[in-house]
Structure 1
Amino acid sequence: MDRTIAPQASPIGGLILPTIGHHVLASGIDVYYKEEPTTEAFKIELLTKGGYANAQSAALCSIANKSLLEGTISFPGKKLIDQIDGMGSFAEATPSFDHSLITVFGLSRFFDRTVQILSEIIYQPEFNGANIEHLKKKELNRLKLNLEKGSYISSVNLRKALFGEAHGYGKSLSPEEIANVSVSDIVKFHKTKLCDFSIYISGQLPPNFISKLENRFSRVERESLPDNGSIIKHSPANVRYSNPKYIQSSIRLGKRLFNRTHPDYFKFVLTNEILGGYFGSRLMKNIREEKGFTYGIYSGLYSLNKEGYFSISTDVNGEHEQATLEEINKEIITLQRELVKPEELETVKNYLLGTFINSFSTPFAHIDKFKTLNEQGLPFSFYNEYVKEISKTTAEDILTIAGEYLDTDSLISSIAGK
């Protein structure tokens, strides 16, 4: 084997996607499942309506979700975590924009016990006042640390600038809102949002796992309220946060855009990858490797349930702030005016598709990939469409997409610096 010669790349064919099972419990709860008999573990997730977009405040959403793991009626306080740890399990509550996830990883031999405890977490949380006050203090301390970081401030301010603070996607934590969260607020949010969920489960499952879920999740607790994360009219504007202590400038550029349901999604994903989506991107080569302004610069399209947004992110020495902005504009304009060379286009396609295919290789990947699409109303076959559309995208397509969606005048800036 001549190791001086790179192996020849071959085109990627279609994905062989497994069937994801679906069952509706008597309570109306959707269960989506994928059995993975080769692993001795399983993962079960409750995907709830308790995301930031559906909460009165980001603080309420965050604290309500985290308080689920602060104890149940049967296992108050630390006893809950002791029960989970004793089975070699792991649990977390993770809020995001459109929903929250209550996730438990467990060993298959403890399936019954794990599901029982998860049922208690969602149906019988303790919501102890002292524990919640302690949680609020931890949340406040974490926020205070983040508010000292320009990177955090510029990212939060970009979302506010793009969507507005009244929009679910523009919400952020504040000390005042953390202080104002009450136990009664949490109880109401739990009943109306956190108890409205679907179940996603995968791994080595017992033959009668559906009946076991039926027994534990048969109660209908939810009282759903209308979502408040709908599109709200807002006029984006540039924002700057100044702090004389900052040495670096944290630069965030972005615009409201579309999600996976848009017909130009695939072509934009490839366009973004060329611009700033991976380590070998044009922004990285120019601003990191050639200019030495930063350790890293990336761009990305964030696909949310109702819409999406595009952003470019980097941190540079303050003296290079203006030059960095000029170089970003230069790379975008080049992408709009000059055809991508065949060699670069092939390299980026191979990297993008190779990384994508590899993302299906872990035991719980199939159910995770399905969940992402299911929440946006897309079929599992979307992933085969992804491979096909990326493969056939041309340099002319890239030129068109960059011209239509990456007008430099349309990008909103959020900068935190001196």
Structure 2
Amino acid sequence: MKNTYIYIVVLLLTFSQALAQTDRSKLPAPGPAPQINLGEYESFTLKNGLKVFVIQNDKLPRIAFSLILDVDPVMEGEQAGYISMAGQLMRNGTKTRTKEQLDEEVDFIGASLSTSSTGIYASSLSKHTDKLMALMSDVLLNPSFPVEELEKLKKRTLSGLQSSKDNPNAISSNVSNVVRYGAAHPYGEIETEATIEKIDLQSCINYYNTYFKPNVAYLAIVGDINKKDAEKLVNKYFGGWKKGTVPTHSYPAQVAPAKTKVVVVDRPSSVQSVINITYPVDLKPGTPEAIKTRVMNQILGGSGTARLFMNLREDKAFTYGAYSSLSADELVGTFSANASVRNEVTDSAVVELLYEMNKIVKEKVTEEELQKVKNNITGSFARSLENPSTIASFALNIERYKLPKDYYANYLKTVEALTLEDIQATARQFVRPDNAYIVIVGNGKQIVPGLGKFGEIEYRDVYGKVYVPEVTDIPQGLTAAKVIENYINALGGKAKIEALKSINTEMAASVQGMNLTMKVVKTNSGKFLNEVSMPGMTISKTVINGDKGYTVMQGQKMNLEGDKLKEALQQADMFAEMNYEKNGVKTNLLGIEDVEGNKAYAIEVENAAGKKSTSYFDVQSGLKVKEATTVDTPNGPFNTSVSFSDYREVEGIKVPYVMTINQGMVIKAEVKTVEINGELAEGLFTIE
């Protein structure tokens, strides 16, 4: 025992001496790239040209099928969006099963089955393999394209587009695509209400009939099955799939602009700017450059420890996060560097983004930065191999992009071999701070004065169309107070509003197929009820009675106190604008803005607690058409809005019969009944 103790002491002393002699200011010398065992896959091709890859994995009794079409992107024109809908419609019924029957059969075996415009995915327990293939082949070979399902898809898409029009990130994405690729490229097309409305069923059917052919398809099978059984199964269910000639398409080569251009999407209500520095690049999947750009971009802006993040968030505190990406594509790749920042630091943030882009071009990265990224990629690559579907995607990529057979087997060796010189050469090739589109969605009046130094400024709308801003000066002498006074008069006048005792409104709406009832009751004595319910269930409820109130959300009741109570009391006003001065609300006339194609006065409203929102009043009618609010969340600012339309007169007071609520999901509420000065149910405002 004594000898053992002495041996341990000697080991500890030796170890401590080794540590003392180690220079811990330097990273340890990297070892060789780990040997990667990618696992085995087998393949075969049907007579109709369908290429099949089998990755056997019997660790779990599960199986997954992934069918991918290798087809060129298609210009959709005035029906932009129809190709995506064609893919979704395939899952909504076949010639032998309705959508409901499909859903029931898929659920019964605990499976998943989804479709897209370029393929199908299905998975289940391996004991249900035959049944799953029967369902998958029925969806693939016999879609019925029910017209009623198309109308539902169009309705949901229009609702989503309505939401995205108020989402600065969605606007930035759309406009960036338009300026980066142009109108003559399929990547430059965006969906609008007009294009969705024009989509017809025949276009969807034509796309399916033209492009869903086995000779341009790849099928990956991963799970508890061997090649012999897979071949029997695939022949049984897909052997009768008829091959055909599939059109190919070519498009103009996309290049970065000759000099940097600033593109502004003016949103006067924005309290922050969404910045995207972007341009097209010639970067194909599976090339040596694709690996180099991954490493280089990881240093520039590919993570929360990269240069952009550390500069704009950690050092300057401009943003919640700043990132960059370099994506490869068979047609045209993309570079983007982006951040969302406060209006007042917009130009400073652009300076820092460009600074980091210039720095990585002009100066070599450090050995420490490079080694950290290599270590990160090695770890994530190794972890990805734990998922059998990774092997399937590797096999498909090798076949689709004609890669060397050992491309992925040597992936980490290629990464490890990269030098500081390689990274700088890659940055010089792909990072173009002087040849970029700087797309900024934000408050034009606040941000444009500081942007001229970066390049020519061009204005575009939310659809990416160029326009020259109108000079819409506010009429001399007009104030926020006067706009609000005009609104009160447009509603029916101060005298009629002050004579109101109560307003009882009931509205109907639907969300994802669920019917909702929304009830709002207000009195001139400070009583208020706002209740949202569906058959048999109350979703939310707020009650105010004098200086007390509570709210119920998802069955949880909370008494309102402090600032929350003050805000709720303002909501209890029948017309809050009548009492702005009494409630300490500040207003500021910002300017004139376009709201749904009409000019409206934008007024900033700041309540007594310092929370701000923007109200919009139609220039012609004087009526309020919209309220917009930005809410701070842990993930950054979140925009919400309520639009008001279809005003109708009820006993001398104009009431909006349609309210469109946008909180990331759009809810259109339509008034069913409005009762003014009617008898109210007893106990409606009881505070327990």
Using the size of structure 1 for normalisation, the TM-score is 0.91
AA of the residue aligned to 1:120: D
Q: Find the counterpart in structure 2 of residue 85 from structure 1.
A: 107
Q: Retained in 2: the 8 A contact 1:339–1:396?
A: yes
Shift of 1:58: 4.2
Q: Deviations over 1:296-317 (max 9, x none)?
A: 2221121122231111122222
Q: Deviations over 1:361-413 (max 9, x none)?
A: 22322102332443322234222343222212111222222223213111222
From 202, 211, 224, the counterpart of 2:222: 202
From 251, 269, 279, the counterpart of 2:275: 251
Q: Retained in 2: the 8 A contact 1:167–1:232?
A: no
Q: 1:223 to 1:143 in 2, by over 3 A?
A: farther
Instruction: Please tell me whether residue 239 in structure 1 is matched to residue 257 in structure 2.
Output: no
Instruction: Please tell me whether residue 144 in structure 1 is matched to residue 168 in structure 2.
Output: no
Q: 1:84 to 1:304 in 2, by over 3 A?
A: same
Q: 1:157 to 1:289 in 2, by over 3 A?
A: same
Q: 1:417 to 1:164 in 2, by over 3 A?
A: same
Identity of aligned residues (%): 24
Q: Deviations over 1:66-125 (max 9, x none)?
A: 111111111112211111111111122244xxxx23111111000001001110101111
Q: Find the counterpart in structure 1 of residue 318 from structure 2.
A: 293
Q: 1:84 to 1:270 in 2, by over 3 A?
A: same
Which secondary structure does the structure 2 equivalent of 1:278 belong to? coil
Q: Find the counterpart in structure 1 of residue 232 from structure 2.
A: 211
Q: Retained in 1: the 8 A contact 2:72–2:248?
A: no
Q: Retained in 1: the 8 A contact 2:327–2:335?
A: yes
Q: Find the counterpart in structure 1 of residue 646 from structure 2.
A: none
From 396, 409, 417, the counterpart of 2:421: 396
Which secondary structure does the structure 2 equivalent of 1:208 belong to? helix
Which secondary structure does the structure 2 equivalent of 1:134 belong to? helix
Q: Retained in 2: the 8 A contact 1:51–1:61?
A: no
Instruction: Please tell me whether residue 312 in structure 1 is matched to residue 337 in structure 2.
Output: yes
Distance 1:64 1:244 in 2: 37
Shift of 1:341: 2.0
Q: Deviations over 1:186-229 (max 9, x none)?
A: 11111111345221111112652211111111224454442335
Q: Retained in 2: the 8 A contact 1:49–1:194?
A: no
Gaps of 5+ in 2: 1-11, 444-688
Instruction: Please tell me whether residue 341 in structure 1 is matched to residue 366 in structure 2.
Output: yes
Which secondary structure does the structure 1 equivalent of 2:275 belong to? strand
Instruction: Please tell me whether residue 38 in structure 1 is matched to residue 38 in structure 2.
Output: no
Shift of 1:55: 5.2
Distance 2:427 2:274 in 1: 24
Distance 1:243 1:90 in 2: 41
Count of matched residue positions in the alignment of Structure 1 and Structure 2: 413
Shift of 1:282: 0.5
Instruction: Please tell me whether residue 60 in structure 1 is matched to residue 82 in structure 2.
Output: yes
Distance 2:418 2:182 in 1: 34
Q: Find the counterpart in structure 2 of residue 71 from structure 1.
A: 93
Q: 1:336 to 1:169 in 2, by over 3 A?
A: same
Which secondary structure does the structure 1 equivalent of 2:129 belong to? helix
Q: 1:231 to 1:109 in 2, by over 3 A?
A: farther
Shift of 1:10: 4.3
In our comparison, the structure showing a higher alpha carbon Rg is 2
Q: Find the counterpart in structure 2 of residue 302 from structure 1.
A: 327
Distance 1:295 1:29 in 2: 47
Which secondary structure does the structure 1 equivalent of 2:105 belong to? helix
The higher-RCO structure (CA 8 Å, 6+ apart) is 1
Instruction: Please tell me whether residue 159 in structure 1 is matched to residue 177 in structure 2.
Output: yes
Which secondary structure does the structure 2 equivalent of 1:295 belong to? strand
Q: Retained in 1: the 8 A contact 2:52–2:219?
A: yes
Distance 2:390 2:293 in 1: 24
Q: 1:405 to 1:51 in 2, by over 3 A?
A: closer
Which secondary structure does the structure 1 equivalent of 2:149 belong to? helix
From 265, 270, 281, the counterpart of 2:290: 265
Which secondary structure does the structure 2 equivalent of 1:305 belong to? coil
Distance 2:133 2:252 in 1: 37
Q: 1:194 to 1:242 in 2, by over 3 A?
A: farther
Shift of 1:328: 0.9
Instruction: Please tell me whether residue 413 in structure 1 is matched to residue 438 in structure 2.
Output: yes
AA of the residue aligned to 1:178: I
Q: How does 1:366-377 map to 2 (within 5 A)?
A: 366-377=391-402
Distance 1:201 1:229 in 2: 31
Q: Retained in 2: the 8 A contact 1:192–1:222?
A: no
Shift of 1:231: 3.9
Q: Retained in 2: the 8 A contact 1:34–1:367?
A: yes
AA of the residue aligned to 1:121: V
From 166, 172, 187, the counterpart of 2:190: 172
Instruction: Please tell me whether residue 26 in structure 1 is matched to residue 50 in structure 2.
Output: no
AA of the residue aligned to 2:85: I
Gaps of 5+ in 1: none
Q: Retained in 2: the 8 A contact 1:54–1:227?
A: no
AA of the residue aligned to 1:90: S
From 120, 145, 159, the counterpart of 2:138: 120
Tell which deviates more after alignment, 327-336 or 222-231: 222-231
Which secondary structure does the structure 2 equivalent of 1:348 belong to? helix
Shift of 1:242: 1.3
Shift of 1:260: 2.8
Q: Retained in 1: the 8 A contact 2:71–2:248?
A: no
AA of the residue aligned to 1:226: P
Distance 1:371 1:131 in 2: 32
Q: Find the counterpart in structure 2 of residue 190 from structure 1.
A: 208
Shift of 1:253: 1.4
Q: Retained in 1: the 8 A contact 2:48–2:242?
A: no
Q: Retained in 1: the 8 A contact 2:256–2:435?
A: no
Distance 1:171 1:382 in 2: 34
AA of the residue aligned to 1:408: P
Tell which deviates more after alignment, 329-338 or 39-48: 329-338
Distance 2:93 2:70 in 1: 21
Distance 1:276 1:135 in 2: 37
AA of the residue aligned to 1:201: I
